Amino acid sequence: MTHVLTGSRGAATGPLVGMICMAMAMLLLPVGDTFAKLLTSHLGAVEVTTARLLAQGLVMMPIAVVLRHRLRGPMFSPIVVLSGGLVMITLTSLVWAFSVMPIATAIAIFFAEPLILTLLVGPLLGERVGPRRLVAVGVGLIGVLLVVRPGGDLGLAALLPLVAATAYALNMIVLRRASGIRSGLTVQCGATAYACVGMTSLCIILAAAGWIQPDFATLPDWGWGAIAASGLFAAVSFILIAEAFRRAEAGMLAPFQYLEIIGATIVGYIVFGDFPDELTWVGVAIILASGLYVFWREQVPSNRGSILPGRRRTRRIRVR
């Protein structure tokens, strides 16, 4: 049964429910990431990502059946294939990063994504980006350098969350194209399906070439539970995000996305005893402030109208 909000009370309740859904999703995502990090002690990043996506797909299938009235547009098409490929790169890079650094640090670097997206929308979507947002991007990248600290303990591993952030930003651009005739749930389900097929194929090819040695047979019992939990938390988070964007505007939801860093810090400290140092927190604060400023500038009416003729702005849907 579809519940439709009506009247002034419904108009006020819709955005509130959307904000609650976004907050819940951002706090649940790090829990799924924690299970993925635990699995990296027994499996490689490719194997963990493959198992996580397969579990996520199994959870999303019945949800998609229940919410089939919200599926709109073609689920299987070239642009959704591209989205699935970018999901593969994003998740594999993040899981690999989780295996070599604290989750909160990886997520902090990953949140350079809005800044990277701001740089990409000009050449790829024809959107004009003003000097204030470009300055915010520059300041945000200084924050990234404070977290990464080139030459520090992270080394080249610090590039992994940046690769994930770039792939995610590209996926946002793909979603802007795809969501014109498709619902967010349609794109998420299709991209997940393609990513499952792609990661499974990649895992088989790499194993046949001897580059990885998947050893699921020796995975302890808790490992299978961790795989299921990782996929479950990811799937539920994505459904909550889709619901949030269905009920509230992107500008209203943007600040809640940064709850993910808080959740990652709390879970990382409880499970692994990891806690970012002072300089990392300074970098995180700069990244968050820059990202929020970019979001705020995107809501200014004059900036909304800066898209070249024939371009269309759509709402951002997080599919990590």
What is the per-residue pLDDT across 58-74, written as a single tens digit (0 to 9) for each?
Answer: 988 888 888 788 788 88
CB count, 10 Å around CB of 150? 9
The confidence score (pLDDT) of residue 11 equals 47
What pLDDT band is residue 274 in, cutting at 50, 70 and 90? confident
Taking residues 287-306, report their average pLDDT.
Answer: 67
Is residue 127 helix, strand or coil?
A: strand
Q: Is the pLDDT of residue 305 over 50?
A: no
CB count, 10 Å around CB of 78? 8
Is residue 247 a contact partner of residue 15, using CB atoms and an 8 Å limit? yes
What pLDDT band is residue 95 in, cutting at 50, 70 and 90? very high
CB count, 10 Å around CB of 13? 13
Positive or negative, the CA dihedral 163, 165, 169, 172 is positive
* Alpha carbons 36 and 319: distance in angstroms, whole number: 17
Taking residues 90-109, report their average pLDDT.
Answer: 91
Whole-model pTM over 0.85: no
* Alpha carbons 51 and 45: distance in angstroms, whole number: 10
Q: Is the pLDDT of residue 14 over 50?
A: yes
What pLDDT band is residue 87 in, cutting at 50, 70 and 90? very high
Percentage with pLDDT > 90 across the chain:
27
* Long-range contacts of 200-208, Cβ-Cβ distance < 8 Å, separation of 24 or more: 200/50, 200/54, 202/46, 202/50, 202/88, 203/46, 203/47, 203/50, 206/46
What pLDDT band is residue 10 in, cutting at 50, 70 and 90? very low
Percentage with pLDDT > 70 across the chain:
85
Whole-number mean pLDDT of the chain? 81
Taking residues 223-251, report their average pLDDT.
Answer: 84
Is residue 198 a contact partner of residue 57, using CB atoms and an 8 Å limit? no
Q: Is the pLDDT of residue 159 over 60?
A: yes
Q: Is the pLDDT of residue 161 over 80?
A: yes
Is residue 307 helix, strand or coil?
A: strand
Q: Is the pLDDT of residue 147 over 50?
A: yes
What pLDDT band is residue 309 in, cutting at 50, 70 and 90? very low
The more confidently predicted of residues 90 and 152 is 90
Taking residues 40-45, report their average pLDDT.
Answer: 92
Q: Which are the contacts of 88, defined by CB distance < 8 A and separation ≥ 6?
A: 49, 53, 195, 198, 199, 202
Taking residues 134-161, report their average pLDDT.
Answer: 79
Taking residues 189-207, report their average pLDDT.
Answer: 93
The more confidently predicted of residues 204 and 1 is 204
Q: Which helix (H) or strand (E) element contains residue 144?
A: helix 131-148
Taking residues 138-153, report their average pLDDT.
Answer: 76
The more confidently predicted of residues 92 and 149 is 92
The more confidently predicted of residues 86 and 180 is 86
Provide the residue type at 74 as one letter.
Answer: P
Is residue 276 a contact partner of residue 104, using CB atoms and an 8 Å limit? yes
What pLDDT band is residue 303 in, cutting at 50, 70 and 90? low
Which tokens go with 76? Answer: 């299987």
| Top-ranked range on mean pLDDT: pick from 21-35, 127-141, 192-206, 234-248 | 192-206
* Alpha carbons 11 and 28: distance in angstroms, whole number: 27
The confidence score (pLDDT) of residue 229 equals 94
Which tokens go with 34? Answer: 């924690």
Is residue 141 a contact partner of residue 115, using CB atoms and an 8 Å limit? yes
